[in-house]
Amino acid sequence: MSAQDAKLLIHLKQLERTPIGYRVLHCHISALPGHLRTRDNMTQALAALRDATRNNLTSSIFLMKNMELICVCRDIDMGALRSTASKAHKAFGHAGLQRSNVYGDQEFYHLFELGENDARLRQYAEAAAGPKGELTDAASDGKTIDGSMLSRIKAQLQTTNISPMILSQQIYAVDKDRKVIPVFREIYVSIKALEDAFCPGVSLMGRSGLFNELTEDLDAAVLGMLARTPDLSNRRFSLNLNLSAISSKTFAAFDAALRPEQRANVVIEIHRNDLVANFSLFRKLAPGLVEKGYSLCIDALDASFLPHLDLKGLNFRFAKMFWHEDALTESEKLKTELTSRTEDGEGVSYILARCDNANAIRVARSVGIDLLQGKLVDHMVKNNIPI
């Protein structure tokens, strides 16, 4: 079971003594078509819930292992929660459900009053939390996630050389003369190679709960491989790491293998959802990482979320935004937001990633973003095409 699955049940049990005023919004993301359940869309749905509860100190948001999204809050009226559910649904284009939700109907969301009509919610929370932590994953056509498969892959990761599964993509800086300069290379694991090696015919990304359970093991495998690399001194690269992995013994061993000048070449990318979910751990770890020489990058931002995120004082050197076509219509708003942040002395360099079409590069240039990453950028650099 995931930590969020367990925490929801614990939280609901803690509220049994004083349920008055507590309401729950349950959005059924897992029942939506698989191609819509992207990280970008999930991020926007989460942002809608966080906007609604920003000033509500009693609220808690849970992203379940099977991608259900649940908000427990107090003294927020039902009308406001319905509006929030509509905004979350908008992130997925108000699409209809692909199959019945966990309550057996076709609704995108359900609202509950704790202590009154929450019987189905309690049953769901208990099923999600145990005893074996198995829960139907909508992305796997109704089949339960296979715990034996998960255990087998975890064991194989500890003994397999994953070097052939490692891919990378360069981040480039574009100067005022349109000259392109390599800045650092993002290192990541090929999901296709993982599937071919460990579970042929099974989609890891399609089974979100299974893949989420593997991220810490993947982080450990990558860190272990890099710790055994003889010389990293001439390589500047970034790693996508969970905060739990950064606080692990594996990261400590990786860190111990580096000289100070090598640490200065490493950028640690932290996904914004991990930052929000484990903010206190981030605040504890970040100053020490920067003091040792690492650079920090917040990953997976989008234009619509920027106004809700203040990066000042958080030790980030870079902020990576993902391109999507909505940014084309929001380019003036984005330009104003980034200009304001620059004038406020935020001290963060923005990267526009997933630049896979001309619109992405055009918007990046118009709003003053000069750090780019994407397939089109790679193609243009390879063929000496001016950016």
List, for residues 288-324, the tens digit of each pLDDT value. 999 999 999 999 887 777 777 788 889 999 999 988 7
Mean pLDDT of 312-338: 83
Give me the phi and psi of 336, to 5 degrees please. -65, -40
pTM exceeds cut of 0.85? no
> pLDDT at residue 210 above 50?
yes
Quote the crossing angle between the two packed helices 147-159 and 208-227, to the nearest 10°.
Answer: 10
pLDDT at 157: 84
pLDDT at 64: 86
> pLDDT at residue 100 above 90?
no
Kindly list the distances between the CA atom of residue 130 and the CA atoms of 2, 122, 304, in Å, as whole numbers in the listed order: 10, 13, 37
C-beta atoms surrounding 164 within 10 Å: 9
Mean pLDDT of 259-278: 90
Contact 166, 34 (CB under 8 A): no
Contact 174, 372 (CB under 8 A): yes
pLDDT at 241: 94
**Chain segment 34-80, per-residue pLDDT in tens:** 888 887 788 889 989 988 888 777 788 888 888 899 999 988 889 99
pLDDT at 147: 59
Contact 293, 268 (CB under 8 A): no
Q: What percent of the chain has pLDDT over 90?
A: 35
Which segment of 142-146, 237-241, 273-277, 361-365 scores lowest on mean pLDDT? Answer: 142-146
pLDDT at 75: 81
Mean pLDDT of 12-33: 87
